[in-house]
Structure 1
Amino acid sequence: MAQKPKLYYFNGRGKMESVRWLLAAADVEFDEVFLETKEQYKKLLEDGSLLFQQVPMVEMDGMKIVQSRAILNYIATKYNLYGKDIKDRLFIDMYVEGTIDLMTIISGLYIQPEDTKIKQKDLIKNRALNRYFPVYEKALQGQDFLVGKQLSIADVQLLEAILMVEEVHNDVLSHFPRLQAFKKQTSEIPTIKKFLQPGSKRKPIPDEKLIAAAKEILYS
């Protein structure tokens, strides 16, 4: 029996959260090793596990895989979540790059000083409403998924991004009926529905304590 993938990261979202989402959508069980001390991080560096001296790192199929896009692309390809041909993959990649850009802006909110958070929240809403969500709304015209007729990494990351935006602005989908339908339908896919339930390995909004601990391990 093949070993379960093992995820090395902090006990929070960051760049590993999309990996958790994708494995869950593919119905792949995984274990997690949380970095809680400087010594753990140093050991990974010393034994050569981190190719570019940074996490996330996923151990699976006899490999230690780093760089979040490489990890996601490998998982998507392995579990048939990367389209049927090169053209599908091109569009999937474009949509994924968009959701990554949006999620990066949202993630930045939680490391901002309090006096700049209102400005960051306004930026999130503006970019979601005027740059990113209109693209996905148009792409979903006449179809259930962004690319082709089956679930792909692009759909999984879009749902993740929608839920992240809604944590900041809960009415953000009010002008996007197709995205509303997409959210409802995709959230009911059994593997994703399970991941959205309390008690899953999905991580909550990061708090100041987690952010401080991660900085201490990485940069002290």
Structure 2
Amino acid sequence: MEYETVMDMHEARRIAAEWAEHPDGVELYEFELGFVAQRIDIRPEQEQDLGAASAVIDRGSGALTLWPSLAAPLVADLYRTEMLAQHRFPEQTRAMLRLGGWRPGRDVSQVVRDWWGGGAGPAMPRAAAAVLGEFGGLRMRTLRLELVPQRTATAPPAVGDGDRVLIGRLGGDPLWLDPAGAVWRGESMAAAGFDELLVALCED
């Protein structure tokens, strides 16, 4: 991901100082996409504010956004993940996915592995493991989309012709993923990839 660099440490510190409005100042953590700004609080720990927000100043635009009170490298990781999601999905798609329980960096791969068999038997095809590891278990009522595994589901995972994996249902129709990553609604191809399907459903 490339940005036109318009921010340097000096300019980032000026923006951070305006945001901080704190007598003890602010410290910056620089990473490739920008700067994490956090207020410096020299008061005794018991007197410090709990949950004080961090800020990220984008290297390319100078835009300042608020983030949780975490260690600066963790905030930087959250920002990287969010920026990747913005390049991956349009805004409306991201909003719909968040309402359904998805978030950038979501990982339920261990749950999916346990549901598949916990290592016993054949491995889940790579394409299905990637999709379900991120989106497994989501139920998006607005889109009429439900992905396995659901908590109430007790049936073993289904594998169809050509090693297609049943990953859920869309509008009551079975939703399959083939080894190449294409999505099938019943016996008709619905999209060349799962991301493409999500965008088509959310932007329709």
- Whether TM exceeds 0.5 here: the answer is no
TM range, normalised to the smaller chain? under 0.3
Alignment TM-score, normalising by the size of structure 1: 0.26
Larger radius of gyration: 2
Alignment TM-score, normalising by the size of structure 2: 0.27
Kindly indicate which of the two structures has a greater share of residues assigned to helix: 1
Structure with more relative contact order (C-alpha pairs < 8 Å, separation 6 or more): 1
